[in-house]
Structure 1
Amino acid sequence: MREALDVLLNNVKKEMSACPWENPYAYADFLAQTYYYVCHSTRLLGLAAGLCRVDRDLLHRRFVQHIGEEKLHERLALNDLRGLGSKLEDFPEHSITKAFYESQYYKIERLDPTALFGYILLLEGVAVSVCPDIYQRVERAHGKRCANFLRVHVEEDVDHLPKAFAQIESLSAGQKSDILVNMAQTADLYCQIISQAARGRSVERARAA
């Protein structure tokens, strides 16, 4: 599981490193799409917690605890966007962003609540392994007041990944297989969100021409 995550994170790192974070339009689109999917973080965790059987109390309580850890994180992204001088309504939610989180509702309800760990592992892995460099680039280009979402996930959420791995250890082979599939899917879709933000720079140039 850890080796598979490392391979996926390396792919995500390449996509994120190539994104023009110094460009305010590209970064603003990233923040807007981040806001749209992070709004669902606590809801996905709540759904997963509610669907855990009574005999999976440790897993249920971990999901509940994680809700508190993710509470109001979408507002960090929104405030960073406003700090750039941008408005959320200027950056509509992309179809790929909808697909990113909507698929998680299906997996939780139709497969198993534990499938959500594929989504969690990938995003927490990005925060720990990829975002430190991105945070530095964003802070240099746009200032600290526009980089709080990245800062919090780089500096304060470092324990989320080991907590997730600890819960996965006792799961069945079938559950772990679902997690691996979801982890790969999440990585692919996340790379597309980043790629679309990078392409937005071209749109900005076309509008200015």
Structure 2
Amino acid sequence: MSIPFSRALNARLALVAPALHRASARLWRPDGDLTGRYRRYLWAMHAVTTASVPLLERAASACSRWDDGWAPSLAAYFAGHAEEERGHDAWLLADLVAAGEPTGEPRPLPPPLVVELAGAQYYRIEHRHPATLLGYLAVLEGHAPSPVLAGVLAARTGLPEAAFRTLREHADLDADHIAEVERQLDRLPLTADQRTEVAVSALHTAGILARLFDQLAADPGGHR
């Protein structure tokens, strides 16, 4: 019996997970300016989330260019997930306001790593295959915030509970989301080449995310 693709992909991601976990631990360490790091994190996640719905919609549309018999069902999944993600960027802006951060114009430029994160997916969707977006989703949905993180950060920063809605919601929602991503990975009759491209997309995403967390973990002066 062949190993389900989701399990094989998770085995590959396990090799890079320690770097992601270390970067996350540095980001949320209790010393230094944790409040400032959390605000920078919110702005970075706002930039990531702003790209999420357009990426899913682009992938859904791109499925129509392929004659794979399963492409329409993948398009339906992407379109449905876009609706589930719609409006989450507004949650992050509300969190920022509650955290005492002005959200009017001009807003901070998105970190170049966020542009690389989303831009790589646009390239893969347009020039490779929209199924590669499943690798990106497997990492983002599979590394949801811990259910206790919002409470820990609220206690350590003194920020109000209203500043942590997105963390709380995603700790709950992403468990269902990653289960659906894995169902898609296991039910689609992807070719060996397509599976490789999905895996490369996932590993690339995990690497960029670890670098982004490391960057956010640095003090403004560059000190960890």
TM-score in terms of structure 2 length? 0.83
Larger deviation, residues 134-143 vs 175-184 = 134-143
CA distance in 1 between counterparts of 2:89 and 2:114 reads 14
Match of 2:207 in 1: 188
1:43 Cα deviation from its structure 2 partner: 0.4
Larger radius of gyration: 2
CA distance in 1 between counterparts of 2:201 and 2:151 reads 29
Higher helix share: 1
1:6 Cα deviation from its structure 2 partner: 3.1
CA distance in 2 between counterparts of 1:117 and 1:47 reads 13
Unaligned runs of 5+ in 2: 1-8
Contact in 1 for aligned 2:142/2:175 (Cα 8 Å): no
Seen in structure 2, the aligned counterparts of structure 1 residues 90 and 58 have a Cα distance that, compared at 3 Å, is: closer
Unaligned runs of 5+ in 1: none
The alignment-based identity, stated in percent, is 24
Larger deviation, residues 51-60 vs 65-74 = 51-60
Match of 1:52 in 2: 63
Match of 2:198 in 1: 179
Contact in 1 for aligned 2:42/2:96 (Cα 8 Å): yes
Match of 1:24 in 2: 35
CA distance in 1 between counterparts of 2:141 and 2:112 reads 23
Match of 2:118 in 1: 101
1:90 Cα deviation from its structure 2 partner: 6.2
TM-score in terms of structure 1 length? 0.88
Amino acid at match of 1:75: A
1:204 Cα deviation from its structure 2 partner: 9.2
Match of 1:132 in 2: 147
Amino acid at match of 1:156: L
Alignment of 1:76 with 2:91, yes or no, is: yes
Contact in 1 for aligned 2:96/2:102 (Cα 8 Å): yes
Match of 1:147 in 2: 164
CA RMSD of aligned residues (A): 2.0
Cα distance per residue 1:45-71 (max 9 Å; x no partner):
001001113632211111111011101
Amino acid at match of 2:124: K
Amino acid at match of 2:221: V
Cα distance per residue 1:101-159 (max 9 Å; x no partner):
111100110010001111100000111xx533533322323332111111111012311
Contact in 2 for aligned 1:9/1:125 (Cα 8 Å): no
Contact in 1 for aligned 2:99/2:160 (Cα 8 Å): no
Seen in structure 2, the aligned counterparts of structure 1 residues 79 and 173 have a Cα distance that, compared at 3 Å, is: same
Seen in structure 2, the aligned counterparts of structure 1 residues 195 and 72 have a Cα distance that, compared at 3 Å, is: same
